[in-house]
Structure 1
Amino acid sequence: MADVVNATRMELTRLKNQLATTRRGHHLLKDKQDEMMRQFLLQIESYKALRKNVDQAWLQALDTFSYAKSFHFEEELKEKFLVPASSVKLEFGKQSVMSVDVPKVKILETFEPKVTYSFHGTHPALDTVVAKLGKLLPDLIQMAVEDKKNRILIKEIEKTKRRVNAIEHIIIPEIVDDIKVVRMKISDAERSNTVRIMKSKDLIIKKNLQNK
């Protein structure tokens, strides 16, 4: 509880106004937290669906690649894949989710995957791997964007939650306690003043009686 310097009615009014403002701020911040959680849950659902599709396609490509590896030496495979077989043209930006900036990536153009190695001495299964991974590239990019967005939202939700809890469990109770202290001190001062007035009145009455 903060030390109350001025136990006056003006101070009491100030604390009441501060309490009302803090409670409004807490309500707005709690609404923001709830909406961010709602947006995050929707984001997670779309991310899970995308991740499931990517995982399936990725595992299929890995199975095909594992099969193709049995026909080549490891160094030979590294040499064949030195030159990228697929590429995309991207536009980077930001979008706001509940006043939180998250990344936004737009795929402007995709290029068909091309075989950049010699067909001579190469198993056809490698061509299938190149085609599958080339088609998967846009989804991999989108998944990376969604993953980064999730991490940012989680961090912001946690930060907002800490602020909501601090206001609810620390700041508001401190203001309430300060109001109680000021009220108690004002009541004590009023009682003391009433006693002084009553004593003064008694003295005046006694003095008047003695002068008669």
Structure 2
Amino acid sequence: MARLNVKPTRMELSNLKSRLVLSTRGHKLLKDKQDELMRQFISLIRENNVLRDEVEKELTQAMQSFVVAKSLLNEAFIEELFAVPSTAVALDIQEKNIMSVVVPQMNFSIVAEGEKSSDLQYGYLNSNSELDDSISSIEEILPKLLKLTEIEKTCQLLADEIEKTRRRVNALEYNMIPQLEETIRYIQMKLEENERSGIVRMMKVKDMGGSK
């Protein structure tokens, strides 16, 4: 491990020891942060997997009902039915802090367009149960879709922060702290050598003075 390019003085030794204390403390704090981020990330990934399976299963069932309904109805009616939306989704995005990571917290509400009802308007004679089931299923899936979006975005942000924290932890653990320790050992060794050399010189001067 290459040591830092500093002069081997007691002042530098004191400064390096202070930096080592701070680096060691910072390493511990970052390691604790990394561990907590990983814990929360794993928990969210598990929640995400469960929710995604549910959403995919329900979407598949809803689309199957829609395909059956479409095959039994006039295509022009289907196009007219979905040409103009009868509702809109009002999305309110708040923020929350997870270990200094700002993540979104989504809340939504269904808003009717103009004077229209929040339900699609169509005649029963032109529809069938499969169409009713598919529309109802998709409306029920919407909250889960938004929740899934929130969780996946949170996982992405946490993953980025975990990677940044990991790099900082590794930089301290495998670079900065070993360099400081190696430099401290080097300066201590040089100071001890200088001290021994000084003692030897003093002894020689004393011997020379006594022999006169």
Conserved 8 A contact 2:92-2:106:
yes
Equivalent residue, structure 1, for 2:196: 191
Shifted more, 177-186 versus 121-130: the winner is 121-130
Distance 1:172 1:130, change over 3 A: same
| Alignment match of 1:204 (pick from 172, 191, 209) | 209
What secondary structure, in the 3-state scheme, does the structure 2 residue paired with 1:95 have?
A: strand
| Alignment match of 1:174 (pick from 179, 182, 189) | 179
| Alignment match of 2:130 (pick from 125, 130, 146) | 125
Shifted more, 57-66 versus 7-16: the winner is 7-16
Equivalent residue, structure 1, for 2:97: 96
Shifted more, 135-144 versus 66-75: the winner is 66-75
Letter in 1 for 2:152: D
Return the alpha-carbon distance in structure 2 between the equivalents of residues 165 and 19 of structure 1: 15
| Alignment match of 2:156 (pick from 144, 151, 154) | 151
Distance 1:85 1:124, change over 3 A: farther
Return the alpha-carbon distance in structure 1 between the equivalents of residues 165 and 171 of structure 2: 10
TM-score, L = length of structure 2: 0.86
What secondary structure, in the 3-state scheme, does the structure 1 residue paired with 2:72 have?
A: coil
What secondary structure, in the 3-state scheme, does the structure 1 residue paired with 2:38 have?
A: helix
Superposition RMSD in Å: 2.3
Return the alpha-carbon distance in structure 2 between the equivalents of residues 163 and 202 of structure 1: 56
Conserved 8 A contact 1:103-1:148:
yes
Superposed, which structure 2 residues align to 1:1-212 within 5 Å?
1-72=2-73, 77-108=78-109, 114-116=119-121, 121-207=126-212
Unaligned stretches of 5+ in structure 2? none
Distance 1:110 1:147, change over 3 A: farther
Conserved 8 A contact 2:9-2:187:
yes
TM-score, L = length of structure 1: 0.86
Return the alpha-carbon distance in structure 1 between the equivalents of residues 4 and 107 of structure 2: 55
Sequence identity, in percent? Answer: 39
Conserved 8 A contact 1:113-1:131:
no
Cα displacement string for residues 55-103 of structure 1 (whole angstroms, at most 9, x for unaligned residues): 1211110111221232357676444322235443332110000111000
